[in-house]
Amino acid sequence: MSRLFGTDGVRGRANADLTPDLALRLSIAATRVLGAADRRTVAVIGRDPRASGEMLAAASAAGLAAAGAEVIDLGVLPTPAVAHLTALTGADFGVMVSASHNPMPDNGIKFFAAGGRKLPDEVEDAIEAAMARPAPLPQAEGVGRIARSVDPVEAYIEHLVEVCPNPLNGLKVVLDPANGAATGAAPEALRRAGAEVVTINDDPDGLNINENCGSTHMEGLRAAVLAHGADAGIALDGDADRCLAVDAEGNYVDGDAIMAILALAMREAGTLRGDTLVATVMSNLGLHQAMGAAGINLVVTGVGDRYVLERLGEGDFSLGGEQSGHIILSDHATTGDGTLTAIMVLARMAATGKTLGELASVFTPAPQVLLNVRVADKSVIHHESVRDAVALWQAKLGTDGRVLLRPSGTEPLVRVMVEASEEPVAQSVAAELAAVVEHALA
């Protein structure tokens, strides 16, 4: 039987793969595993604004209460805000109903342990095991209650403004919150920190989250930055745990460039513990080269911000992230926080007087091609023909390139990534490997 949890909680098509019944049973099991043993369990729950979140959050809250938890309903709120408030309220755990950057028909449920930290694999396995072994539910006064939190967004905004290292005065920013969970919080936080903010894609209706906008579709942001003569553009995703950017000239600034900017800023400020940056295997060779030239160690993990988080904790490091824009500043957050990342990048611009393009120029990416291959069985990456093709091309590319195949943790895809010294070479090798994957199980 396949594992229910993926790389970022339980995710699938709402009302098909992820039903209210599954959400209820999952939340009951999570309360049994994560709840307090000697007192009433307290849990917080939030969601992004996609339409299916209403029913799934209601089912999840019902499951929490059915298992005896006192439930604090935070309403629509970014994922990092739910993590922050899990810690701030002293809750035993937190629940976020969101499919992050996925399209509207999808949804997901992720959990935060006490303190707002993501769950390790073994705890997720324990929740799955508890689902398979139903237990009697509390009755009478043992049943939990559900209460709506009063203005949780304000507490999160105050936190963001408080950690901003210097005012953002003089900066004009275009912000695209992807019609998502940070539509209210992110622009207000940036304005209070001192920036002039122009917003686009800021009218969520439950159906338009991530639709041709946000961090997965940045063409509109680029056009808006140029049209408004802005200093920078910031793109979030639906639950605002990732951040990508556009500079004043319309050039895209990805997570690798953002990590390079922040690593140098933090090293200068003495806050880059161990002079170390944690990134994943998907980060570009150019990031390795930039950090090496700056004397900063680069520690590599598997794909997924949870693995970055684990390595940050193990090494007591303060900065890590992914090329996709999940950036973790562990002194200020327990998970990726797109708005926090934006604030720190903009603060660096304001403090140095440099443009975003100038700051990002420290990082020169090697040509990289990423193809998504839709498959019926993600284990195809272990097929002999696929393994042989990967080994062949890695040998041919040598130290001038890199090949990486990995299954998506949330979708029926195999991701084919190729880096080479020249773009046409990377394109050609990636296309050939994608064809091998497509035909391996045919």
Residue 225 C-beta-side C-alpha neighbours within 13 Å:
23
pLDDT on residue 41: 98
Instruction: Please confirm, yes or no, whether 283 is among the known catalytic residues.
Output: no
- Active-site option among 52, 60, 98, 100: 100
Q: Which helix (H) or strand (E) holds 190?
A: helix 185-192
The tokens 């304005």 sit on which residue?
A: 191
Read off the pLDDT of each residue in 424-433 and give the average, rounded to a whole number.
94
Please name the helix (run of DSSP H) or strand (run of DSSP E) that holds residue 349, with its range, or none. Answer: helix 338-352
Which residue in 187, 149, 186, 152 sits closest to 71, CA to CA?
149
Give me the pLDDT at residue 400, please: 79
For residue 150, pLDDT beyond 90: no
Mean pLDDT of 105-111: 97
Does residue 412 contact residue 376 with C-beta atoms inside 8 Å? yes
Q: What span, in angstroms and rounded, lies between the C-alpha atoms of 310 and 339?
A: 22
For the segment 82-108, the average pLDDT, to the nearest whole number, is 97
Q: Output the pLDDT for position 107.
A: 98
Q: Is the pLDDT of residue 1 over 60?
A: no
* 117-147 pLDDT tens trace: 999 999 999 999 999 998 999 999 999 999 9
